[in-house]
Each structure stands twice: as structure tokens, then as C-alpha cells.
Amino acid sequence: MNLQMYSEVIAAVAVLFYLTAILSAVEAIMRVRTAQGAIAWAISLLTVPYIALPCYWIFGRTKFEGYLEQKQEIERQTRQLLQRTHNALDDYLLDYPNDLPLYNSLYNLSRTPATRGNHVELLINGQATFDSILGGLETARRYILIEFYIIRDDDLGARFTRILSQKAQSGVKVFLLYDEIGSRNFHRTRMCKQLRQTGVRVAAFNTTQGHRNRFQLNFRNHRKIVVVDGEQAWVGGHNIGDEYLGLSKRHGFWRDTHLRLRGPAVLGTELAFATDWRWATRSPLDIQLRLESRPCGDANVLVFASDPASTMEEAGLMFHQVIVEARHRIWIASPYFVPDRGIISALQLAALRGVDVRLIIPDQPDGPVVGMANWAFTRELLPAGVKVYRYQGGFMHQKVLLMDNTVAGVGTANFDNRSFRLNFEITLLVHNAEFCDQVQTMLEEDINHSRRVTPQEIADKPPWFPLGMGIARLFAPIL
């Protein structure tokens, strides 16, 4: 190739690159969910395309293409299931909007009915959680659905492998789903190989499936779901790994919360899993999902599954609605506190109208940028009267909320833009005074192991600290 031809090829590639950047900037303006994000991407793509274009195709999009069609098909099947089980389910459906106005708006978002007649059990920290889950797996007779963001091939993973393999070999249908970004090396592990060899059906969620998702690393399936025979389910913050038992040298004591559920609401967790399984494998679950309709408690439960394929930002709107509905208190515990402007305003207004607003976040966040963003948003909330506590008893990873003495939530959604817009999440919203009392006691104990942040503490930070907070805020949409 002579010099002139080489120059022409370089020029053609450069023109093509710039044209692609311009088209991507147009797409960003049309599709990115926030105005700030659209402006930032458009300016970057037009001024520094060689850097911005690869970043945009990997991190830029906030709409998960292709999943919505699969979800709509699952929801159609769900409606058929609800119709087939109408007589059994009817006694447990809440009467909208009379039972709880909050559930009325959230039902329109989640499209899963809230039910009464459920039993919920609060599981505090890893030992109680995994003892409960592993004990439940031992009772499986028909099928097991299990989905985690992170699965480690360690001692705890070996305990799961042993039980799941035994159950699969005994004829129980076992379906295991993992996120290939959170568990990026799982498919190479001995654990995964043994599970497959013993009959466990293992699948990665496969967020890169589909031609428009091929380069995306932005979307994660962050759900943690275990279901046994449609009779009991577990949802919460723990993944499968020794660190969740507090055995990590890096993190030390691991503070987390899970929930065990029995009753009609278990069906909602199964439907969330079924949607994910259909996307991952392009095939439905070959089991009969059926309603466990026996009364086993007095808790009303709404299973709130959210995803980035929906028209609206479901998780963010759920948190916003809970904050707006609060009349006496709203307590939130989250390891990642990087919310959007609407949530910050809602928290400020709640505190200004006299609501007891408390946030519990880790004193040692998982990463310096997240830590600086925490400080930036804390600085905005303190003047309104929001109480911010930094947990010092170890690494706090729980995702818990408490509204008045009315509703408590336990799930997988963090209080950040990633959970609001980019992740697949699930939260159980429980309407039960006794359960709310248990959550209150638990959070009060966490506050006893925390220190309250004061405006003076922020004022005493080094001179460079405000700049660090400002830079961290710029990355808030993707943290």
C-alpha cells in the first residue's frame, strides 16, 4: 500500500468515525434519560469522539433493548396464570386503593398485584440468612429457582453446590441464573462444571444478548432470588460468597439483611425469575408455577421488580413515592447513596415538613468515587434536617427502608442511579406493623453502631475536599 492510499484509508476511517460520533450524539439527545446526561454525552462525542465514542457504546445507553418484548410475553402468561388461579387468588388480593393508597400507585408501576395472607421473616446478617436458605433448599421436592448477582467458588459456594447437585440428581428441577458481569469468571469454575454435570440448569443472564446490546457493560442483573417449590422465597442483599459471612480480610464484618417469604406473594418472585430466565435462555421455565394459597400470615406484600427496559424509572419512582407518602418517618439504609436530583429534593422536603428522615450509609464505602459522592449529597441534605449516619461496625451492604410504622422494604435496590435506571432489581414492600417494629429495632441497633454526620465535620475537611465532591457528582449517573 503506497503512502497516498494509506492516507486515503486513514481519512476515510476518520470521517466514518466522526459520522458515527455525530449519529451517536443525536441518539444520546433522543434516548439518554436525563438532560444532564444527554448534554454531557453530546458534547463529549462531538469534541473528543476518539475517547467518547467507545465509552458511549459501552456505558452510554440507559435503555435495555430487546428485553421488553420478552417481559411483555411473560406478563401475558402471568395474566393467564392469574386468570386460571383467580378463585384461589381472589381472597388474597388487596382492594385498591382502599387497603393502602401507596400500593395503588406502585401496582401501576410493577403490574404485580399485592397480596395479603403472607408470612415474612427478617434475616439479619449472613449466618441467619444462609442457614435459612440452605435449610429451605433441603426441603425442595419439585423445583428450585436460584438467582444471584455474585456467586463465588469458595466454601459457601461449595455448600450450595453440594445441596443443589444432590437435589438435581434426586429429580428436583434446579434452575440457576447468574450475572456474567458480577460473576464474570463463574462459568470457568469447578463449581459451575459440577453443577452442570449433576443436572443443574445453569445460565448467565447475558446482558450483551442482541445486536444493540453487544458492547454494553452498563446493565446488570442485581437480583438475589431463591424460590423453593413455589412455597417459600428469599430476597435481600446477600450474594453467595464467604465475604457475606464476614470472612473477608478486606471488608471484615459484613452487615446485611435478607427476608424469607411464604404465602401468595411468592408467586411474584417466581415471575421475576421467569422473566429473567426467558431472556437468558430464550425459552420458558418447564415447570408449572402455581399459587401457594394457604393462609400462613397476616402481612400484605408487594413484590416490586424493576428493570431498565421499562418506559419509566421504576425503582427511582418507587423510592420517590415512599418518601412522599411518609408522614412521620422515613429511614433508609443503603451501601451506595448516589441519588438523582428528584430524590434529593423529596428527602429535603420530607425533612422540612417534619418527617424524621434518617439515612444509614457505610463509613467506609466501596470505592473512593462513591465515597466522595456520598459526602457531596450529604452536604446538601444536612441543612434541611436530614440525619445522616455513617455505619462503623463493618461494611454495611443492606438495602432496607422503613416508612412510618406502615411499610418496610427489603430487597436488592441500592439508593443510587444505577439501581434506579440501569439494574434489574427486586424489593419486597411489607405492610405489617409487627414486621415494621422488627425493622425499626434492627435499624436502631445499626444507628447505635454509627456516628451522625454534622455540618461542621464537612466544613473541617481539607481545602481540596469540595473539589473532590464536585468531581464525584459528575460521575453520579454511572456510579
State the amino acid at position 468 in one-letter form: G
- Catalytic: which of 63, 71, 119, 224? 224
In this model, does residue 296 exceed pLDDT 60? yes
CA distance 290 to 105: 26
- Catalytic: which of 99, 242, 356, 404? 404
Looking up cell 409487627 gives 434
The residue with greater pLDDT, 212 or 342, is: 342
CA distance 379 to 443: 22
Q: What pLDDT, in 10s, does the model give residues 163-176?
A: 999 999 999 999 99
CA distance 380 to 455: 10
Give the model's pLDDT for residue 441: 98
Give the model's pLDDT for residue 253: 93
- Helix (H/G/I), strand (E/B), else coil: 325: helix
Instruction: For residues 157 and 173, state if they share a domain.
Output: yes
In this model, does residue 35 exceed pLDDT 70? no
State the amino acid at position 222 in one-letter form: H
Instruction: For residues 93 and 204, state if they share a domain.
Output: yes
CA distance 466 to 461: 8
In this model, does residue 323 exceed pLDDT 70? yes
328 in active site: no
State the amino acid at position 381 in one-letter form: L
Give the model's pLDDT for residue 95: 72
Mean pLDDT over 444-453 rounds to 96
Mean pLDDT over 202-206 rounds to 89
CA distance 414 to 336: 6
φ, ψ of residue 39 to 5 degrees: the values are -65, -45
pTM of the model: 0.86
Number of domains in the chain: 3
* Nine-digit cell string for 274: 421467569
> Does residue 306 belong to any structural domain of this protein?
no
- Catalytic: which of 119, 222, 258, 431? 222
Give the model's pLDDT for residue 371: 76
404 in active site: yes
> Does residue 395 belong to any structural domain of this protein?
yes
Instruction: For residues 358 and 460, state if they share a domain.
Output: yes
CA distance 61 to 422: 9
The answer to whether 299 and 435 have CB atoms below 8 angstroms apart is: yes
- Catalytic: which of 399, 416, 431, 446? 399
- The total of other beta-carbon atoms located within 10 Å of residue 288's CB is 9
Instruction: For residues 181 and 94, state if they share a domain.
Output: yes
Angle at 414 between CA 366 and CA 372, to 5 degrees: 40
229 in active site: yes
The CATH number linked to 195 is 3.30.870.10
- Catalytic: which of 71, 238, 258, 397? 397
> Does residue 367 belong to any structural domain of this protein?
yes
399 in active site: yes
Instruction: For residues 71 and 53, state if they share a domain.
Output: no
Give the model's pLDDT for residue 305: 92
Give the model's pLDDT for residue 159: 97
Give the model's pLDDT for residue 362: 93
Give the model's pLDDT for residue 217: 60
CA distance 75 to 307: 14
Alpha-carbon distance values, 141 to 172, 174, 184, 262, 332 (Å): 6, 11, 31, 16, 37
> Does residue 199 belong to any structural domain of this protein?
yes
Instruction: For residues 237 and 382, state if they share a domain.
Output: no
Mean pLDDT over 81-100 rounds to 64
Q: Which residue range is the domain that position 450 belongs to?
A: 314-478
In this model, does residue 127 exceed pLDDT 80? yes
The answer to whether 280 and 177 have CB atoms below 8 angstroms apart is: yes
Instruction: For residues 264 and 347, state if they share a domain.
Output: no
- Catalytic: which of 229, 256, 340, 363? 229
Q: What pLDDT, in 10s, does the model give residues 38-52?
A: 776 677 777 777 676
Mean pLDDT over 333-338 rounds to 92
Mean pLDDT over 398-419 rounds to 94
Instruction: For residues 24 and 83, state if they share a domain.
Output: no
Comparing 5-14, 70-79, 312-321, the range with the smallest average pLDDT is 70-79
- Exposure letters 311-324 (e unless 16+ CB within 10 A, then b): eebbbbbbbbbbbe
The answer to whether 427 and 410 have CB atoms below 8 angstroms apart is: yes
The residue with greater pLDDT, 78 or 275, is: 275
Instruction: For residues 124 and 192, state if they share a domain.
Output: yes
The answer to whether 102 and 407 have CB atoms below 8 angstroms apart is: yes
